[in-house]
A and B are shown apart, each in its own frame.
Chain A
Amino acid sequence: MTPKPLDYESLNENVKKVAYAVRGELYFRASELQKEGKKIIFTDVGNPHALGQKPLSFPRQVVALCQAPFLLDDPNVGLLFPADAIARARHYLSMTSGGLGAYSDSRGIPGVRKEVADFIERRDGYPSDPELIFLTDGASKGVMQMLNTIIRDEKDGILVPVPQYPLYSAAISLCGGSLVPYYLEEEANWGLDFYNIHQSVAAAHSKGITVRAMVIINPGNPTGQCLSEANIRELLKFCFQENLVLLADEVYQQNIYQDERPFVSARKILFDMGPPISKEVQLVSFHTVSKGYWGECGQRGGYFEMTNLPSQTVDEIYKVASVSLSPNVPGQIFLGLMVNPPKAGDISYLKLVQESKAVLESLRRRAHIMTDGFNSCRNVVCNFTEGAMYSFPQIRLPLKAIEAARKAGKAPDVFYCLKLLEATGIATVPGSGFGQKEGVFHLRTTILPAEEDMPAIMTSFRKFNDEFMEQYEDYRGYSRM
């Protein structure tokens, strides 16, 4: 009998190279401990509903009605569903060619794409073309698709911020391309460092890499920083000069916790800058229903919008989308509802606004509680979470701890995070999963645990951290601050 083809050695190397720490070692260990009965606080994934955030009522009502259209004709339906939800369900059903159960257009239901285009126009003040908006099963699928379209071989490089959300590194690995990192400046609030960006590109060129695209995550993940208009202008100029596609991950655009830098889309700035940039720079923007104050991760709803891509390229992207037939229809409806929510005067408007505000205001408070909490801990420094859903504190690990980690065969931040998990049940993701400068360690946690649980969580963390530092501190020095 011949050896099996799917032996580990004979797997696609690109698959083996992939690392996705968000569901990696810490998550496994946390799941094991949970099975053993330990109480785990999962702060490892941006998964609001898993930590008690309630779904908004209106979208759930609408989608439930779309699932069971026979309810619409039932005389009792008004007992459980408000009239505007009923009307909206009819509206979405009429946009489909067979309700939720039929494959839609491979790009998504045209009516929903129009709603997205209208939303973009209201948000930015520039018209948007529904034909250039493709709905996907979550933003991640869209990112994968775009990177697969761009990357031809390992000589194609993609500029990615470090620290980054590891979907990018994973997708680039899978597509067989090269990740060209640009380091964000922790001391400057995770700001952009154009000197570093130019250096990275130059170094890539000197190795025969063609840099094709640049990823920006705004607000940042895991870092949370919000880009200013000036930042985005500089980035667009850079992409114009270097001939790069700008991939703008804007999934956290609703999650803003400071007022100095409200969200502004890359597309708006692109058009503000006028020609040649507004006509030449190729841009793909990503959004989702998983984040914001909706947090509907499990629906897998998202879209990407293409700007300045030639129509032949758009056709090819459409062709590949058609192989997967269509994005899931309920997810598309969630997206439609997110970009086109009830308006003032609608029956459900006040409740939706109330629910939304409550979530956002609480997130803002939790962003502060967590940042302040970390900053009050020994050897921990934490930039404020300006946006998104995460806190990314730097842990200044004593050399003894680093040595102990090495002895245990673990990266130092993995070692720390595992100990934190075992001691407190708090599941985080080590900074190495996102990338960081050599010798500097972080962990990523979310600001999603319920507000009333936050103080206890921070106390628990502080206690662990104090004990850890006590155990491993001596006066030989620390990891770089």
Chain B
Amino acid sequence: MRRFATDERCFSSDLGHSAHLVSSSGAAASSAMGSTQSPPLTFDSINPKVLKCEYAVRGEIVSHAQRLQQELQTKPGSYPFDEILYCNIGNPQSLGQQPVTFFREVLALCDHPSILDKSEAHALFSSDAIARARQILDLIPGRATGAYSHSQGIKGLRDAIAAGIAARDGFPANADDIFLTDGASPAVHMMMQLLIRSEKDGILCPIPQYPLYSASIALHGGSLVPYYLDEAAGWGLEISVVKKQLEDARSKGIAVRAIVVINPGNPTGQVLAEGNQREIVQFCKKEGLVLLADEVYQENIYVENKKFNSFKKIARSMGYGEKDLSLVSFQSVSKGYYGECGKRGGYMEITGFSADVREQIYKLASVNLCSNISGQILASLVMNTPKVGDESYESFTAEKNGILSSLARRAKALEDAFNSLEGVTCNKAEGAMYLFPRLHLPQKAIEAANAVNAAPDAFYARRLLDATGIVVVPGSGFGQVPGTWHFRCTILPQENKIPAIIARLKAFHESFLGEFRD
């Protein structure tokens, strides 16, 4: 291991070599130094990469919505709606989705292990939750859930996750390949940090994409190389399109290092066909690209004819091993049917990297010491749910199926609603948590938007918010084919609210078209 590496970067380590003291502040003790220079942390002097980074999911329209929400509280009745409906963010439990009982039982017991030894615990907790909590605590040195763990996460929990991955895919997984993180997002940042050396390094990203990717690439000073998904083909991924973008970027001197694939897609919701996935794997191997597989919606599939296949499974089933493909697979506890966003739990599974590269990834993880323990425990629960015969199995399964079938119904109801609107087309949400309808806006509306310096979809979204209290994210936040307009709306409001939402949407849309009809 290297010693204190900043010796290379430090500029005054040779003490005593300068013959005289050059003190920049020597005589200036009483001068108003602060007023002759601007203070260090001003808008003009912060890291420009910070300025460049954008994240629309929590962007301007959301700030406006929050202001409206406050006004509603202080002056109820001041708007034609009595609540703000946040359909901008995949945050299920903020809209009333209930957490999975078994998971919360285990987490509560792990947070306060001393109740495990009390007989009263059995009156409050199911016996398999108690057993699982004990089993998990036995994996933690000293049963100390308040201690920093191994920087990749508690070994026993990684073993459990590896077992869960193997059971899911039918191919083995290794605990040493797993890095538990505070949600999937920090893992994405870690990989971007590793991959991006300068703006000459490019990362292929789907357009539309979840803007964590564009933000992270901007923060790390790299270049986003877009590949457009085909809206007319259900947001399908066409490998020839990807190849062209890759070659194009290379001809401009960009070293394309990796490709991001989000499956199921966000915001687009498509579930990749196996054939498509095989093409992608082959492409990565041939072109020497790292495959960054965002699979956080793997449990959110709403159509009978598609199922989730992890890229690892696809690669292994093609006979590709560690030497053939560098693959990073991301999973999270925030989505699925568990929707535990606030816990910040997730992991990346890295395969196909040399030992010295893995060492660097470990080193990066170690600077933050470890991810939160409760999130680690939750990740292990998500990958190892109650089994047939367990006391909680039936209630767990009922909760899970209840949530998933409700999501499927809501996806369909909203998809149909959007498609029923004049000038709106909406692809099916095969998976994930969003609909991404396309707005064919009348010219007058586009002009009105331009007049106020707003993108037409942002203009529409703002009007929608002001009229109905519904918050969506303009498509420009995700990227789209130039000249096309979309917005992303989650399928997460409670089922009993959906009819009213649809009614309000329809009324607003009609009135909007009425106002801007050509």
Contacts and interface: CB of A to CB of B under 8 A. Distances in A.
Interface of A: 1-8, 10-25, 28, 31, 45, 47-50, 52, 55, 57, 60-61, 63-65, 67-71, 74, 76-77, 79-80, 96-104, 106, 137-138, 140-141, 144, 148-152, 154, 157, 166-167, 169-175, 178-181, 183, 195-196, 198-207, 209, 212-213, 237-238, 240-245, 276, 280-282, 290, 295-300, 308-310, 312-313, 316-317, 319-320, 322-331, 411, 414, 430, 432-435, 437-438
A102 B41 contact: no
Interface in B182-199: 182-183, 185-186, 189, 193-197
A196 B18 CA distance: 12
B452 interface: no
> 5 closest A-B pairs (Cβ-Cβ)?
A25-B1, A2-B288, A329-B342, A23-B366, A203-B12
B398 interface: no
Contact of A17 (B5, B21, B50): B5
Interface stretch (B95-103, B409-417, B481-489, B496-504): B95-103
Interface stretch (B142-150, B235-243, B268-276): B142-150
B41 A282 contact: yes
A148 B47 contact: yes
Nearest to B16: A199
Given A68-B108, A172-B6, A298-B370, A212 B40 contact: yes
A17 B287 CA distance: 28
Contacts of B257: 5-6, 10
B193 A12 contact: yes
A178 B37 CA distance: 21
Interface stretch (B112-120, B383-391, B458-466, B470-478): B112-120
B342 A64 contact: no
28 contacts: A4-B290, A5-B255, A5-B326, A6-B257, A19-B1, A20-B366, A23-B366, A45-B369, A55-B145, A96-B342, A97-B94, A98-B93, A98-B97, A102-B94, A149-B41, A152-B46, A171-B367, A178-B9, A181-B6, A207-B11, A212-B45, A240-B34, A243-B40, A276-B32, A298-B145, A313-B43, A323-B55, A324-B189
Contacts of B107: 67-68
B252 interface: no
Given A5-B326, A8-B354, A322-B55, A50 B111 contact: no
B25 A241 contact: yes
Contacts of A330: 111, 342-343, 372, 374
Nearest to A151: B47
A309 B144 contact: no
A471 B46 CA distance: 54
Given A15-B364, A18-B363, A67 B47 contact: no
Contact of A205 (B10, B24, B42, B59): B24
Interface residues of B, number: 129
Interface in B331-384: 334, 339-344, 352-354, 356-357, 360, 363-364, 366-375
B48 interface: yes
Contacts of A198: 21, 23-26
Given A5-B288, A150-B46, A98 B5 contact: no
A77 B124 contact: yes
Given A96-B342, A323-B212, A65 B108 contact: yes
Contact of A204 (B11, B141, B183): B11
Interface in B1-58: 1-6, 8-13, 15, 18, 21-26, 28-29, 31-35, 37, 39-43, 45-48, 50-51, 53-55, 57-58
B400 interface: no
Given A101-B341, A206-B22, A414-B3, A200 B39 contact: no
Contact of B50 (A12, A148, A326): A148
A178 B11 contact: yes
Contacts of B339: 101
A411 B58 contact: no
Given A64-B115, A313-B46, A199 B145 contact: no
Interface centre among A18, A63, A174, A323 (most CB of B within 10 A): A323
Given A15-B360, A71-B124, A300-B372, A103 B193 contact: no
B215 interface: yes
Given A140-B367, A276-B34, A149 B50 contact: yes
Nearest to B123: A76
A330 B110 CA distance: 13
A21 B4 contact: yes
A326 B352 CA distance: 31
Given A199-B23, A298-B145, 18 more contacts: A1-B288, A5-B288, A8-B360, A11-B197, A12-B220, A25-B1, A63-B112, A68-B104, A138-B369, A170-B367, A203-B11, A280-B35, A298-B147, A299-B372, A300-B344, A313-B43, A323-B185, A324-B185
A20 B363 contact: yes
Nearest to B375: A328
Contact of A6 (B92, B93, B195, B285): B195
A70 B12 contact: no
A312 B22 contact: no
Nearest to A101: B93
A16 B360 contact: yes
A282 B109 CA distance: 43
B121 interface: yes
